């Protein structure tokens, strides 16, 4: 297991290096001069040229890339051209907000999606199976922005039971320690703020969880049906084993591999694709951080933000691969 883990980690390194090249080239292909954006439309040509030289943007592209990599190796993500702050410090609160939202959304998707898929497979071709798969089809097809707006209209405006935007109550703000507000409020013993943070999480996390929940339900149902038709499952059922024993002791482990693949991919997509949900619910996440940086042509923030999200995505896929080998040890020998 140790040699397999080391081999998989070594395979990630060239992927990360290739990713830095792609991100660097894409960011520098964005039209517009950051110096022009920083100084405004009324700035003189001389001032723009001076600031461009000061920022090192007049250097050849490969020199800029090598400088970028040297700084990256030492953990230096650079300085924001817009705020003049260290990106490594500035990005963390935004990243923590996105990770908290994505984590809660993924827990909702896994718990509801997997259980719906398992029950649908066990009671195949019943009313529950048809209803669950219809909802799964709607969940995959429905646009997130529309669902988010409908949630705000119904639960916030009509029923007035949940807040429609933000992470916390602006009149009673959370004192950030880790910037994971659920954890911070528990550390400080502020149960009232913890409840308030949970209330703010409900609408955006359910909107974000809809698509992965539907996909997980469909994949779990399909995978479970394949396993439930196996000889050893038929034997267990013929011996009178209870439903819970057949599913959770014999069938689920063998049906998990394709489900874990989807969970890993969807978790990475949630982190990178939460920008729409964050915009609708005014959630201060990393997606909005990168989006605002694009507007100001803040190259260091854009490439560092994308790089951090992509690194998390690759790390999740690495963990999924390692989980495979734990579930099915034959994989590590292939």
Mean pLDDT of the region 175-185? 90
Which has more pLDDT, 132 or 274? 132
pLDDT at residue 273, rounded to an integer: 62
Whether 252 and 154 share a structural domain: yes
Domain assignment present for residue 137? The answer is yes
pLDDT at residue 29, rounded to an integer: 78
Mean pLDDT of the region 225-248? 80
Q: Express each pLDDT in 264-276 by its tens digit.
A: 777 877 776 677 8
CATH of the domain at 299: 1.10.3720.10
Of the pLDDT bands very low, low, confident and very high (cuts 50, 70, 90), residue 181 is very high
Whether 163 and 293 share a structural domain: yes
Mean pLDDT of the region 314-321? 82
Residue 139 has pLDDT above 70, yes or no: yes
Residue 177 has pLDDT above 80, yes or no: yes
Residue 320 has pLDDT above 60, yes or no: yes
Residue 114 has pLDDT above 70, yes or no: yes
Whether 197 and 70 share a structural domain: no
Residue 154 has pLDDT above 90, yes or no: yes
Whether 19 and 164 share a structural domain: no
- From 24, 44, 74, the end of a domain falls on 74
Q: Express each pLDDT in 30-65 by its tens digit.
A: 776 777 766 766 777 777 777 777 777 778 888 888
Domain assignment present for residue 80? The answer is no
Domain assignment present for residue 79? The answer is no
pLDDT at residue 307, rounded to an integer: 85
Residue 188 has pLDDT above 70, yes or no: yes
Whether 132 and 275 share a structural domain: yes
Residues whose CB falls within 8 Å of the CB of residue 295, separated by 6 or more in sequence, listed in order: none
Whether 27 and 94 share a structural domain: no
Total domains, the chain: 2
Mean pLDDT of the region 10-23? 84
Residue 174 has pLDDT above 80, yes or no: yes
Whether 10 and 155 share a structural domain: no
Residues whose CB falls within 8 Å of the CB of residue 17, separated by 6 or more in sequence, listed in order: none
Whether 242 and 270 share a structural domain: yes
- From 39, 74, 109, the end of a domain falls on 74
Q: State how far the Cα of 58 lies from the Cα of 216, in Å rounded to an integer.
A: 49
pLDDT at residue 272, rounded to an integer: 65
Domain assignment present for residue 14? The answer is yes
Tell me what the pLDDT averaged over the chain comes to.
84
Domain assignment present for residue 158? The answer is yes
Model-level pTM greater than 0.95?
A: no
Domain assignment present for residue 64? The answer is yes
Mean pLDDT of the region 55-80? 82
Domain assignment present for residue 303? The answer is yes
Which structural domain range is residue 9 located in? 1-74
Whether 62 and 125 share a structural domain: no
Whether 154 and 10 share a structural domain: no
Whether 202 and 63 share a structural domain: no
Domain assignment present for residue 200? The answer is yes
Whether 269 and 181 share a structural domain: yes
């Amino acid at each position: 297991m140790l040699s397999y883990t080391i081999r998989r980690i070594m395979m990630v390194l060239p992927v990360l290096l290739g990713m830095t090249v792609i991100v660097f080239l894409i960011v520098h292909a964005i039209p517009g001069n950051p110096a022009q954006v920083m100084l405004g439309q009324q700035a003189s040509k001389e001032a723009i040229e001076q600031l461009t030289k000061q920022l090192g943007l007049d250097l050849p592209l490969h020199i800029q890339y090598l400088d970028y990599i040297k700084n990256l190796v030492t953990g230096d993500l650079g300085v924001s051209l817009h705020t003049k702050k260290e990106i490594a410090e500035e990005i963390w609160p935004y990243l923590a907000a996105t990770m908290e939202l994505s984590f809660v959304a993924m827990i909702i998707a896994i718990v509801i999606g997997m259980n719906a898929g398992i029950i649908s497979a066990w009671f195949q071709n019943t009313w529950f199976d048809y209803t669950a798969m219809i909802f799964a089809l709607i969940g995959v097809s429905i646009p997130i922005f529309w669902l988010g707006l409908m949630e705000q209209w119904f639960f916030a405006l009509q029923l007035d039971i949940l807040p429609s935007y933000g992470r916390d109550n602006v009149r009673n703000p959370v004192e950030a320690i880790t910037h994971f507000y659920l954890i911070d409020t528990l550390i400080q013993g502020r149960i009232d703020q913890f409840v308030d943070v949970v209330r703010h999480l409900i609408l955006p996390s359910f909107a974000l969880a809809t698509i992965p929940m539907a996909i997980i339900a469909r994949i779990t149902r399909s995978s479970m049906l394949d396993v439930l038709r196996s000889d050893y499952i038929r034997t267990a059922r013929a011996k009178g084993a209870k439903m819970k024993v057949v599913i959770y002791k014999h069938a689920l482990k063998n049906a998990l591999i394709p489900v874990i693949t989807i969970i890993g991919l969807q978790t990475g997509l949630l982190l990178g694709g939460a920008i729409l949900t964050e915009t609708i619910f005014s959630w201060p996440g990393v997606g909005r951080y990168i989006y605002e940086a694009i507007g100001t042509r803040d190259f260091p923030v854009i490439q560092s933000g994308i790089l951090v999200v992509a690194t998390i995505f690759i790390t999740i896929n690495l963990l999924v691969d390692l989980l495979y080998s734990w579930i099915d040890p034959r994989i590590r020998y292939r």
